[in-house]
Structure 1
Amino acid sequence: MTESHERLLGQISRQSLMEFTEEISKEVRLSGSEEELRAFRYAEQQLKSFGFETNLYHRKALISLPMESKLQINGVSYTSITHSMAPSTPEIGVSGEIVYMENGFPLERDPDLADKVLLTDGLATPGALLQAQTHMPKAVIFINAEYTHEMIVSTVWGNPAFDQLGQYPKIPAVSITFADGEILKAKLSLEEKLLAEIMTQVDTAWRDIPTLIADYKGSEDVNPYVLFSGHIDSWHHGAMDNGSANATMLEVARIIGTNKTKLHRSLRLAFWSGHSHGRYAGSALYADEHWEDLYDNCVLHLNIDSVGGKNSSVLSEANAMAETKDIVAEPILKYADQEFNSTRYGKAGDQSFWGMGVPSLLMGLSEQVKSDNPASQAFSKLFGDGKAGGFGWWWHTTEDTIDKLDPVLLERDCRIYLATVLEICTNPLLPIKQQNAIKEIIGFIRNYQRSLPEPEWLGIALNRLEKLDTTVKRLTDLVHAADFPSAHSIRTYNHWNKQLSRILVRLNYVGGNRFSHDTATPKMPIPLLAEISQLEQHEPSPAYYSLLTTIRRNINEVNFNLREALELSEQTLKNWEEIQNG
């Protein structure tokens, strides 16, 4: 951390952060609404005053807004909400006998569950609703926590492609509170028959949504940029999610812009709509429209969501890739006194740029301590059973208001983000540690190898990865040992680093077409090899041999990607040595 960076970090203002948050979160910001647009215009006005070049524009997106939910059980009304991208019921509603699914939904279709209303614990997630749908029930009731939590229940990422139109949920879904869920479960335990009557209305339509882009140009490399993004749309007032994150972005921009800070590479801020009500429609649209620019120039995507919450004392579990983790580890240690363990990304949270191989860093940052309360338990199911307990019981509820923020913790989180932006944008050498990604991939390949009937199928991949590891270590050591590398040497190294990301990020995180978007469902590491995990479920049969054929072909793709990575790195090492010796 340089002296000039410390001076900039010292200018972070709690007052500015809270004023920005209060202004953005003073209205409910449904995607495509006038209230949301006013927040976008406010952000644009601020960014212009800080010296950023801005572009606010609109695009069409499929947006789904829950409007009404009515639930009666044996004639008694219960408070409920329905969910984005769930279908509406017919006007007369749907009805059926309630069956409690204590252990979730069976994988194999159970005909006894057809035409029933299924009751289950947890948040309304796309995976749960998709699994429930296989049993052909009338509807699903999710038991949340003290408050009901707004959710989006589709797996389709962003706007649907033509062949995805039939992939949206086909059964209604509602959520109720933990207290009401306990009442229903108690009645069912006494073998009382419960009849549910459900009526929901969800307004799903193509709407114009805004996107705001703000650029601050680098002084050395103008074209390469760091993409720093967060969504403005909200559930309810969304002071934490995502007003505090928007405020942090504006505060980072204020400090960099008003100080006319010299950056080596450019900084691009992106404010999305359609995150909450369109399954990341804004960021997915941006990826679709700017694919080649992102491929050519975006060196890293830094995302921010739900920072500065009260009692948000856990900063060790945030998302990062193996190769980007160390960038934020130092500021987290310095300003929060915590070792950064990091959590591998799932397919969520505006991570729309893996198809072009852009590495990612962060999403949320600070979380609550894990506890036994219903909200924390529900978040564990959603985010993974780690050390943290989610963003706070008020997340995605009516209670996400400005009093849920701690100005001291918001300043802390802003400090970590500003330090991270300064490190990525001012370091002449891209601080992305590709060796960490290589070692991670080697570990995943070895795990898959143990499940193959013929482990040597992955021998070529492991051999190339080990050579790649040696080559990258040699190149990295040479680069960091150079006292005064030339501008040409630095550009050579940075270009190699970026191009290697284009291969390794896709290999590690992308399962489908690089120009499309994988669905918002859990993904295994190196998704091309995920079918290997299914082998143990099959005895030798036609299906088994077809599965082996798929695996064999996907291994060829993995091998070829690694061949390209190795050739790129070996040639770059040769070029670097020639430059240094010449």
Structure 2
Amino acid sequence: MSMLTEEVSKQKMLETIHYMTENFPYRLAGSPCEAAASRYVTERLRQYGLEVENKEFYTYNSDPMYSKVTVLDPAMEIDSLPCAHIRATKPEGEVFELIYVGNGDYASYKDINVKGKMVLVEVSYAPPVPEKARIAYEMGAAGIMCMNWGNDEEVICRRGLKGVWGNPTEANFHCIPEIVGVGVTRGAGLKLKQLCLEGKKVEVKVTAIADRTWSIVHQPTAILRGNGKSDEFLLVCSHLDAWKPGVTCNATGNATTLEICRILSKHRQELDRDVYFVFWDGHEVAEAAGSTWFVDNNWDKLNKHCVCYMHIDSTGVKETELYEIKASEELLSFAKKNINDVLPELELRAMALKKIGDQSFMGIGVSSITQRKSFTKEYMEHAHGATLGWWNHTIEDGEDKCDPTALEEDTQATLKVLYDLATAKILPYDFSDKLSAFHTNVKKIADKFGDHMDFMDLEDNLQMVERQVAEIQSMADDLSEERAKLYNDFVKMVARQITNVTMTCADKYSQDSYGYTSLSYPVPLFADFERLVKLDPASLEYGLIKTQLVKNKNRINDALFTISCFADLYKRILCV
């Protein structure tokens, strides 16, 4: 394997990045530039001998065109950019009172009336911007102004406010916030923040123009066939659409993906599993539209055969010092070991993966890994939450923001993870920590809210499943080829069942809204207990919420029962 990682060519990746930046600088989904970039990637994949198709489909899109922001008193005009998927203002602009609401989470609105006003929020991933917009709209705001992260850099991030994950349906179209939205520099935002905190009435005249329309986008898709020993496959993806010039988001990720494809294609006879490569479109503006379209149109195949999803985004970023892994808990130990093997000198930061980015596969329950070199905690705090650099999504994201050595290290580390997964006889899932943490979280919730609902059945089921899954996992070491396949089928089934009820609120066939607040709760399906306990038990709202919480507990119990039944069956088969 060390020889394989040595095949990574830093020069080839830098050439890819330069070519994309020079020839396809503004890869807005649905644009001619995006279409040309898709053709380029498709041809590259074809050169490596893969089964290739440049998929076309419609996505609900937006083109942010123009904005102007003028503060009325004291009179000043400030630089701005329109957000995507907004309610456009009248051409002559509209006047709003501006209200500062911190990071824009629910707590920020305590005792503040924002109805009909524009809120000023500080950009961060707590919550992500689309969720800030959704909350603002829910609170009655008519507009949102996003103050950039970073420090004194005079740059503005491009933003999308769609909120709805993937293409909307009749059931959730109304959830797209009908709200005006603009971005401003951090310096301008801090001045406005100070005016708001001084208690002055701050009024702004805003013109913000963006469209909303269905448009055709392109998604290069390729299959690298292995040696045919298994019908399973890995899914390896990076998003192709990007704001200009989009080097570290995401030409570097595209270069990493293409380089991994080039190398693995030369070793295809060593791969027991196929590898699917897809370059997502509709990531930036349409909120994971490409990955959601892929889920919807390949649901059965993914459910039956996909063993891991690897999302490759923002590799090779300059000034990064440690290695960060975000993975489904059942793959976390495996992923950490791989990094320690490839880059033992780097500090490692590893954590459970949450549903964000293009993690559109948690409803099905496909296990996932995403990893890259990252900034230290101190660096990100100094940059006020700029986890991908202050230049992310700005015109400053040029080739100088790529560190060639970091790019090489990122690609080598990810190549090893994928090769090991593609050749592993036994899938390296370990559910011990995941089930234990889930049980602990349920106990804490039961202790806190046990007066409102009986958790005894859920706790009993969790205890039983923990024991049963551990028993089968203990058999993994000495299985024959045939029984190894049965074991792998079992752990895939466990992932399908447990991920859906621990990482999502939506059902298996839908998506949560983007960055949905409840997903940060220890057990997302029980997040509404925090609302329930503040209500009168005789009230209408209490009854409605309580009914849904009971249904959510039944959903979890059903998943645990399915695991338990299959565990009993597979134990009998594997012990024969």
**TM-score (ref. length: structure 1):** 0.90
Task: Please point out which of 356, 360, 373 is paired with 1:366.
Answer: 373
Structure 2 vs 1, CA of residues 460 and 186 (structure 1 numbering), >3 Å: closer, same or farther?
closer
- CA displacement, residues 376-427 of structure 1 (integer Å, 9 cap, x when unaligned): 2143xxxxxxxxxx11111111111111001001000001100100111011
Tell me the equivalent position of 1:505: 499
Tell me the equivalent position of 2:63: 65
Which has the larger displacement, 154-163 or 454-463? 454-463
Structure 2 vs 1, CA of residues 101 and 341 (structure 1 numbering), >3 Å: closer, same or farther?
closer
Partner SS, residue 299 of structure 1: strand
Structure 2 vs 1, CA of residues 373 and 330 (structure 1 numbering), >3 Å: closer, same or farther?
closer
- CA displacement, residues 158-203 of structure 1 (integer Å, 9 cap, x when unaligned): 1001122211121211121121123334455666554311101112
Tell me the equivalent position of 1:515: 509
Cα pair 1:109 1:135 within 8 Å, conserved: no
User: Could you tell me how far 1:102 is from its partner in structure 2?
Assistant: 5.0
Cα pair 1:209 1:273 within 8 Å, conserved: yes
Task: Please point out which of 349, 352, 358 is paired with 2:360.
Answer: 352
- CA displacement, residues 31-67 of structure 1 (integer Å, 9 cap, x when unaligned): 0112112222222222222221111120000111211
User: Could you tell me how far 1:455 is from its partner in structure 2?
Assistant: 8.6
Partner SS, residue 478 of structure 1: coil
User: Could you tell me how far 1:432 is from its partner in structure 2?
Assistant: 1.4
Do residues 331 (structure 1) and 325 (structure 2) align?
no
Structure 2 vs 1, CA of residues 554 and 111 (structure 1 numbering), >3 Å: closer, same or farther?
closer
Cα pair 1:511 1:526 within 8 Å, conserved: no
- CA displacement, residues 72-103 of structure 1 (integer Å, 9 cap, x when unaligned): 11243211011111111112211133333457
Tell me the equivalent position of 1:36: 34
Partner SS, residue 207 of structure 1: strand
Tell me the equivalent position of 2:439: 442
User: Could you tell me how far 1:111 is from its partner in structure 2?
Assistant: 8.4
User: How many Å separate the matches in 1 of 2:241 and 2:381?
Assistant: 26
Tell me the equivalent position of 1:533: 530
> Where in structure 2 are the equivalents of 1:420-435 lying within 5 Å?
420-435=417-432
Do residues 479 (structure 1) and 480 (structure 2) align?
no
Do residues 148 (structure 1) and 148 (structure 2) align?
no
User: How many Å separate the matches in 1 of 2:211 and 2:544?
Assistant: 42
Cα pair 1:44 1:212 within 8 Å, conserved: yes
User: How many Å separate the matches in 2 of 1:286 and 1:375?
Assistant: 38
Tell me the equivalent position of 2:255: 247
Cα pair 1:528 1:554 within 8 Å, conserved: yes
User: How many Å separate the matches in 1 of 2:187 and 2:47?
Assistant: 49
Structure 2 vs 1, CA of residues 541 and 9 (structure 1 numbering), >3 Å: closer, same or farther?
same
Tell me the equivalent position of 1:294: 302
Tell me the equivalent position of 1:386: none
Cα pair 2:93 2:207 within 8 Å, conserved: yes
Code of the residue aligned with 1:426 in structure 2: it is: T
Cα pair 2:95 2:205 within 8 Å, conserved: yes
Task: Please point out which of 134, 137, 141 is paired with 1:133.
Answer: 137
Structure 2 vs 1, CA of residues 438 and 189 (structure 1 numbering), >3 Å: closer, same or farther?
closer
- CA displacement, residues 504-532 of structure 1 (integer Å, 9 cap, x when unaligned): 11121122221111111131344333333
User: How many Å separate the matches in 1 of 2:77 and 2:398?
Assistant: 28
Tell me the equivalent position of 2:44: 46
Cα pair 2:252 2:315 within 8 Å, conserved: yes
Cα pair 2:98 2:203 within 8 Å, conserved: yes
Cα pair 2:82 2:182 within 8 Å, conserved: yes
Cα pair 2:57 2:216 within 8 Å, conserved: yes
Cα pair 1:63 1:278 within 8 Å, conserved: yes
The CA RMSD measured in Å over matched residues stands at 2.3
> Where in structure 2 are the equivalents of 1:8-19 lying within 5 Å?
8-19=4-15
Structure 2 vs 1, CA of residues 120 and 259 (structure 1 numbering), >3 Å: closer, same or farther?
closer
User: How many Å separate the matches in 2 of 1:226 and 1:103?
Assistant: 37
- CA displacement, residues 118-141 of structure 1 (integer Å, 9 cap, x when unaligned): 333335712222332345444222
Tell me the equivalent position of 1:122: 123
Structure 2 vs 1, CA of residues 47 and 222 (structure 1 numbering), >3 Å: closer, same or farther?
farther
Which has the larger displacement, 345-354 or 124-133? 124-133
Cα pair 1:51 1:258 within 8 Å, conserved: no
Tell me the equivalent position of 1:93: 93
Partner SS, residue 430 of structure 1: coil
User: Could you tell me how far 1:572 is from its partner in structure 2?
Assistant: 0.7
> Where in structure 2 are the equivalents of 1:87-486 lying within 5 Å?
87-102=87-102, 104=104, 113-123=114-124, 125-145=129-149, 146=153, 147-188=155-196, 193-316=201-324, 318-334=325-341, 335=343, 337-338=345-346, 340-362=348-370, 364-371=371-378, 376-379=383-386, 390-454=387-451, 457-480=454-477, 482=478, 485-486=479-480
Structure 2 vs 1, CA of residues 467 and 413 (structure 1 numbering), >3 Å: closer, same or farther?
same
Structure 2 vs 1, CA of residues 391 and 188 (structure 1 numbering), >3 Å: closer, same or farther?
closer
User: Could you tell me how far 1:329 is from its partner in structure 2?
Assistant: 0.5
Which has the larger displacement, 189-198 or 568-577? 189-198
Do residues 22 (structure 1) and 18 (structure 2) align?
yes
User: How many Å separate the matches in 2 of 1:78 and 1:46?
Assistant: 43
User: How many Å separate the matches in 2 of 1:267 and 1:368?
Assistant: 30
User: How many Å separate the matches in 2 of 1:264 and 1:214?
Assistant: 17
User: Could you tell me how far 1:285 is from its partner in structure 2?
Assistant: 0.6
Cα pair 2:82 2:210 within 8 Å, conserved: yes
User: How many Å separate the matches in 2 of 1:9 and 1:287?
Assistant: 31
Task: Please point out which of 551, 559, 563 is paired with 2:557.
Answer: 559
Structure 2 vs 1, CA of residues 460 and 401 (structure 1 numbering), >3 Å: closer, same or farther?
same
Tell me the equivalent position of 1:385: none
User: Could you tell me how far 1:558 is from its partner in structure 2?
Assistant: 1.4
Which has the larger displacement, 370-379 or 52-61? 370-379
User: Could you tell me how far 1:25 is from its partner in structure 2?
Assistant: 2.7
User: Could you tell me how far 1:340 is from its partner in structure 2?
Assistant: 4.2
Partner SS, residue 400 of structure 1: coil
Partner SS, residue 323 of structure 1: helix
Cα pair 2:363 2:509 within 8 Å, conserved: yes
Cα pair 1:356 1:515 within 8 Å, conserved: yes
Cα pair 2:288 2:358 within 8 Å, conserved: yes
User: Could you tell me how far 1:220 is from its partner in structure 2?
Assistant: 4.1
Structure 2 vs 1, CA of residues 135 and 262 (structure 1 numbering), >3 Å: closer, same or farther?
closer
Partner SS, residue 71 of structure 1: strand
Which has the larger displacement, 221-230 or 569-578? 221-230
Do residues 7 (structure 1) and 11 (structure 2) align?
no
Partner SS, residue 553 of structure 2: helix
User: How many Å separate the matches in 1 of 2:344 and 2:213?
Assistant: 43
User: How many Å separate the matches in 2 of 1:372 and 1:497?
Assistant: 38
Structure 2 vs 1, CA of residues 109 and 186 (structure 1 numbering), >3 Å: closer, same or farther?
closer
Structure 2 vs 1, CA of residues 411 and 534 (structure 1 numbering), >3 Å: closer, same or farther?
same
Partner SS, residue 315 of structure 1: strand
User: How many Å separate the matches in 1 of 2:116 and 2:469?
Assistant: 58
Structure 2 vs 1, CA of residues 499 and 207 (structure 1 numbering), >3 Å: closer, same or farther?
same
Partner SS, residue 27 of structure 2: coil
User: Could you tell me how far 1:259 is from its partner in structure 2?
Assistant: 3.8
Do residues 55 (structure 1) and 53 (structure 2) align?
yes
User: Could you tell me how far 1:457 is from its partner in structure 2?
Assistant: 2.5
Cα pair 1:333 1:339 within 8 Å, conserved: no
User: How many Å separate the matches in 2 of 1:170 and 1:355?
Assistant: 27
Cα pair 2:453 2:550 within 8 Å, conserved: no
How much identity, in percent, do the aligned residues show? Answer: 25
Tell me the equivalent position of 1:387: none
User: Could you tell me how far 1:486 is from its partner in structure 2?
Assistant: 2.4
